[in-house]
């Protein structure tokens, strides 16, 4: 696969052909509910911290403690805004009415989600100034899966390039501890065969659906590898 030409090594990937989602067609209401559940889950912590900070600020009279409360409020507000920016691109219809999105928006979104607070160093290897909306949405969701797997921080490399009319995406996560939940791995590769998709698997399900709808393929490193490697090829459209 041509993804190996990207500046970080993904040649150890094994190709897994995506299977169609059998026996479970998610209707728009269920999909909206799933994505909203994920969004609410991720915003609960920073919004809760905002509420706590306001309560402390109302009762605290010591100037030094009030300053710390304001710092807490600022950090929580920034975290909430960063998450909303990311999910707007990854789950929503951001990017205007054009067919392509400025890739710099995606870089800012990922950097905001996995900034210094998460102890994740971001490597951005995307040369194209613009990519199709679905490709950007897919890249963000795959990057979120890999970034969330860095439970103790580490490095997250995100790459994309056009080759002979096709689009190739690659994400590499490396750190002291990498944990991609088996449910997320299964959902990413095979979708679901029945039952409901859990909110934590929203990104995996959406990524699988985007790849399947485009007639693409995915590569995923083995669970016991030193790094988590995910590669996607999207064929020429039209």
Q: What is the pLDDT of residue 2?
A: 42
What pLDDT, in 10s, does the model give residues 86-145? 988 998 876 555 689 999 999 999 998 886 666 899 999 998 999 999 999 999 999 999
What pLDDT, in 10s, does the model give residues 198-222? 778 888 988 998 998 899 999 899 8
Q: What is the pTM of this model?
A: 0.82
Instruction: Taking residues 21-30, report their average pLDDT.
Output: 56
What are the extents of the domains in the chain? 2-234
CATH topology of domain 2-234: Heat Shock Protein 90 (3.30.565)
- What is the distance of C-alpha 41 from the center of its chain? 15
């Amino acid at each position: 696969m041509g993804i190996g030409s990207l500046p970080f090594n993904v040649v150890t990937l094994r190709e897994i052909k995506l299977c169609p989602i059998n026996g479970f067609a998610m209707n728009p209401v269920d999909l909206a509910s799933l994505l909203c559940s994920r969004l609410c889950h991720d915003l609960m912590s920073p919004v809760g911290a905002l509420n706590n900070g306001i309560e402390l600020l109302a009762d605290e009279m010591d100037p030094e403690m009030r300053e710390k409360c304001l710092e807490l409020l600022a950090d929580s507000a920034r975290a909430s805004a960063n998450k909303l920016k990311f999910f707007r691109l990854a789950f929503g219809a951001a990017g205007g009415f054009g067919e392509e999105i400025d890739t710099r928006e995606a870089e800012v979104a990922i950097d905001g989600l996995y900034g210094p607070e998460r102890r994740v160093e971001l490597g951005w290897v995307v040369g194209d100034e613009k990519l199709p909306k679905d490709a950007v949405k897919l890249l963000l969701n795959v990057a979120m899966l890999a970034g969330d797997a860095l439970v103790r921080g580490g490095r997250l490399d995100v790459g994309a390039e056009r080759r002979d009319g096709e689009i190739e995406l690659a994400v590499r996560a490396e750190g002291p501890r990498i944990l991609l939940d088996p449910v997320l791995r299964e959902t990413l590769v095979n979708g679901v065969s029945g039952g409901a998709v859990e909110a934590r698997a929203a990104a995996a399900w959406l990524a699988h659906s985007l790849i399947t709808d485009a007639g693409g393929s995915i590569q995923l490193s083995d669970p016991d590898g030193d790094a988590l490697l995910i590669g996607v090829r999207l064929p020429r459209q039209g």
